Amino acid sequence: MHFKRIKNLREDHDFTQQYVATYLNIHRVVYSRYENGVREIPVSCLMNLSKLYNVSMDYIVESGNENEMNFKKGINKREETKKYK
């Protein structure tokens, strides 16, 4: 799953990938793969990221599903509209 928000949070705090990777005690390349959605993020890393940025894990995790959630909302709206026609 791809969490776009971790990149946005990092950039908002003016952190480098190397800084965050060091904080998480992982290699920068591994962290880069998390940001790009190439690799799954372990729960322990999500917990540490939420501490680093002072946000909930839900805030980070929900960002990965924005397009899917918006797509489902669109389907639900269309189904509701059909019911009332």
More confident residue, 20 or 4: 20
- Distance between CA atoms of 12 and 30, rounded to whole angstroms? 20
Owning domain of residue 54: 4-83
Q: Read off the pLDDT of residues 37-78 as tens digits, 9 standing for 90 and up.
A: 899 999 999 999 999 999 999 999 886 555 544 544 555 555
**What band does 80 get if pLDDT is binned at 50, 70 and 90?**
low
CATH code assigned at 19 = 1.10.260.40
Whole-number pLDDT of residue 71: 45
Tell me if residue 77 falls in helix, strand or coil: helix
% pLDDT > 70, the chain: 71
Q: Which residues contact 21 (CB under 8 A, 6 or more apart)?
A: 27, 28, 30, 31
Q: Which residues contact 45 (CB under 8 A, 6 or more apart)?
A: 24, 26, 34
Please count the structural domains in the chain.
1
pLDDT beyond 70 at 2 = no
Tell me if residue 10 falls in helix, strand or coil: helix
Q: How many CB atoms lie within 10 A of CB 56?
A: 10
